Structure 1
Amino acid sequence: MNHYPVLKGVGDVQMESQPLREVGPDEVLVRMSCVGICGSDLSLMYKGRLGDYELAPPLGIGHEASGVISKCGANVKHLKPGDRVALEPGEPCRKCDLCVAGKYNVCGETDFHSSPVPNPGSLARYSYHRADMCHKLPEGVSQEEGAVLEPLSVAINACRRAEVCLGSSLLICGSGAIGLFCLVAAKAMGATNIIMTDVREEALKRAKKMGADHTLLVGGGQGQDDPKHLAKEVERVLGCRPEATLECSGVPSSTAMAIYATRSGGVVALVGIGAEYVSLPIFNAAIRELDIRGVFKYVGCYPVGINMIAKGLVDVKPLITHRFAFEEVVKAFETLRSGKDGVIKCVVSCE
């Protein structure tokens, strides 16, 4: 039997079971090891929506996952039972123009709005997964590190979209989990002058400890939170206007500040998911030829992330702050939601 939690409604998690079925020819059965909980999961759990997607229960939980191959389909040749793997979520068709062009993350045949997480999700005792979306973990890369390859891959894709390279100056808006993953990825990709913002002093202290060159506290009120004013503060603290910005908070005022702060001809990459509609200074961006680019998931980033971890180019272990048993999934959500006790990333053990 397979056991897994299901989101039945806002804040309503129930455990379900079903018999294991036969493995399809191009898929594998994975005995799950670790699953991370992220901000997107929180939004679905407590708000019932993610961007413009509205919760359509029953919905599975979890997409940051690692496990061990239990069975392989008849057509699977590159994996075998016992292999440790990270599971890349997604169902690209591999046939449409976008997939053929290498943009399988925005596959023209895949509808994110129909179900962003399959039911059951990765948070389960077992999971059936496409074999071509499973990535073998080498010795030295743990199951926990395999689970957080998902947010690391988002960060790698974000840095690529923002054209982060050797010597880049960079603004990262938001020092939560995804902001910190972007920080470690950007440093590994060569960024040498990085400033991070947040409304929480403790978050900025963590960012500094993780390697941020500068930090800036925002959200103080008293007229100091005007996006133009904050943009000037970024320039003052950083010593220049950043060549690129990774907006990880999803907060409209922060996105506006990112546009004002980034130098002409630069890139603002939208990593965080916020409201469906926002008001932004588009004229300012247009006359300065500022590129505003979306970031959705990842394209070929899992192998890069695995190599980064295996070769010691990034250290994601400090970002895994809280661990929970399979039966404690609700507690994991509540802990991450509280933002207390230095929580960054919660990982649930499915063993």
Structure 2
Amino acid sequence: MGDQTHNLSFILDPKGPTLTYEDRPIPHLRSPYDVLVNVRYTGICGSDVHYWTHGGIGTYIVREPMVLGHESAGVVVSVGDKVKSLKIGDRVCMEPGVPCRRCVRCKEGKYNLCVDMAFAATPPIDGTLAKYYTLPEDFCYKLPEGISLEEGALMEPLSVGVHIVRQAGIKPGDSLVVFGAGPVGLLCCAVAKAYGASKVISVDMNEERLDFAKKYAATQTVVAQKESGEDAAKRIIEAGELGLGADAIIDATGAEPCIQTALHALRTGGTYVQGGMGKSEINFPIMALCTKEITAKGSFRYGSGDYTTAVGLVATGRLSVKELITGKVKFREAEAAFQDVKAAKGIKTLIEGPADSSVVVGNGENAASS
């Protein structure tokens, strides 16, 4: 397995807080159904940066040094005795949350709502920004030859987009407005378009990101302005020629003004999905919710089938994620990726390695050491 002496990991130490590196033990397979993955690429999520800058998210507080990262892909380097679907050398994307599999929510197929979920880089669970990481085989998805490991790292945010769009019930011919042109908002646009939405309108304050959205997946864009929710809704409806309002609206920002605007911009009987997290409590137009008989849903991570769908969308060419990768850094330069995300630079920055140079990946190429 190459270097057996260490498992180089990128750590958030809450004392400071500081970002640092640490040699940790190579994790053991905890079950005969587990696999050990040499992590090759990891994207940085806003939640990782939030833990770094704020020390916690809601009730999840970083109290002890924690490995960051959860958007990863890598190469299988060891498998348990009962693993059947994967072998050493397979390239996989990694679903970073493992549920208990025993509770009512798990049994009814909504394992993303498991209260005992062990999710990477959510305190106190360590994340995937390490040389090696273990997961059950059914939470590792083999990448087809046409999908690179870099693209594989984006299957995590794409799965979030798939889940949100499924919550919205998008079908061919629907009109959709997406607030927020960050990675998740952009991927929601792309998934909705792949699902047959006729109008996909991206709304954001950042015109540079809106330009990207228009080239990537949005059929139209609208620049957000400081105005009342009702006025903003009228402007979006007019700009998008939405008639009585959009069939569905997704908020990928968590910003109160966007949520207020969204409920005004929906048609009667429309569907609203909250995909972005913001303040724990907000004001919203309850009369619009009631009188329009709006269906309002939350969306949390991803559930059964979402990762498989994400991989399939990319493998069949119905959706592309390459365009979102706007930067890559070596593992020892990981803090630079965090600084980029904090400064809202680019769309998605990937951290490379550290690779196990002895491993031969599925396409027959030796991995370069990072």
TM-score, length of structure 1 as denominator length: 0.94
1:153-302 counterparts in 2 under 5 A? 153-219=159-225, 221=226, 225-240=227-242, 241-299=245-303, 300-302=305-307
2:317 partner amino acid: G
Q: Distance in 1 between matches of 2:327 and 2:124?
A: 25
Alignment match, 1:323: 328
| SS of 1:339 mapped into structure 2 | coil
Please give the alpha-carbon distance, in whole angstroms, between the structure 2 residues aligned to 1:21 and 1:121: 12
Aligned mates of 1:255, 1:57 — CA distance in 2: 35
Distance 1:119 1:52 in 2: 14
Task: Tell me by how many angstroms 1:280 deviates.
Answer: 1.3
Match of 2:93 in 1: 86
Q: Structure 2: which amino acid aligns with 1:316?
A: V
Query: Cα distance 1:115–1:323, how it changes in 2: closer, same or farther (>3 A)?
Result: closer
1:195/1:214 contact within 8 Å kept: yes
Q: Per the alignment, in what secondary structure is the counterpart of residue 324 of structure 1?
A: strand
The aligned residue for residue 347 of structure 1 is 350
Q: Against the structure 1 CA distance between its residues 160 and 7, is the aligned structure 2 distance closer, same or farther, given a 3 Å change threshold? A: same
Letter in 2 for 1:58: P
Aligned to 2:136: 130
Whether the 8 Å contact between 2:64 and 2:124 is mirrored in structure 1 is: no
Change (3 A) 1:13 1:119: farther
Q: Distance in 2 between matches of 1:301 and 1:244?
A: 20
CA displacement at 1:204 relative to structure 2: 1.0
Larger mean Cα displacement after TM superposition, 84-93 or 3-12: 3-12
Does the CA-based 8 Å contact 1:86-1:134 persist in structure 2? yes
Gaps of 5+ in 2: 1-5, 356-370
Q: Say which SS state the counterpart of residue 253 (structure 1) adopts.
A: helix
Aligned equivalent of 2:45: 38
Deviation at 1:140, TM superposition (A): 0.6
Structure-2-length-normalised TM-score? 0.89
RMSD over aligned Cα atoms = 1.7
Post-superposition offset of 1:19? 2.4
Distance 1:271 1:158, change over 3 A: same
Residue 288 of structure 1 aligns to which amino acid in structure 2?
K
| Match among 145, 151, 154 for residue 148 of structure 1 | 154
Bigger mean CA deviation after superposition, 206-215 or 240-249: 206-215
1:21 CA displacement: 4.3
Q: What's the CA shift for 1:76?
A: 1.3
Partner Cα distance (1:122, 1:110) in 2: 16
CA distance change for structure 1 residues 346 and 117 in 2, over 3 Å: closer, same or farther?
farther
Partner of 2:64: 57
Whether contact under 8 Å (1:27, 1:129) holds in the other structure is yes
1:168-194: per-residue Cα shift (whole Å, max 9, x none)?
Answer: 100000111111111111111111111
Query: What amino acid sits opposite 1:94 in the alignment?
Result: R
Mark the CA change 1:21 to 1:307 in structure 2 (over 3 Å): closer, same or farther.
closer
Alpha-carbon distance in structure 1 between the residues aligned to 2:348 and 2:107: 34
Is the Cα contact below 8 Å between 2:168 and 2:250 reproduced in 1? yes
How far 1:211 sits from its partner (Å)?
2.9
Q: Which runs of 5+ in 1 are unaligned?
A: none
Aligned mates of 2:129, 2:38 — CA distance in 1 = 11
Distance across 2 between alignment mates of 1:257 and 1:52: 28
> Residues 259 and 57 of structure 1: is their aligned pair in 2 closer, same or farther, counting only changes over 3 Å?
farther
Kept after mapping to 2: 8 A contact 1:63/1:117? no
Q: Percent identity, please.
A: 37
Offset of residue 160 of structure 1: 0.4
Question: Distance between the aligned counterparts of 1:159 and 1:56, measured in 2?
Answer: 34
After superposition, the C-alpha distances for 1:139-160 in whole angstroms (9 at most, x for unaligned) are 1111011110001000011000
Deviation at 1:130, TM superposition (A): 1.8
Distance 2:237 2:259 in 1: 16
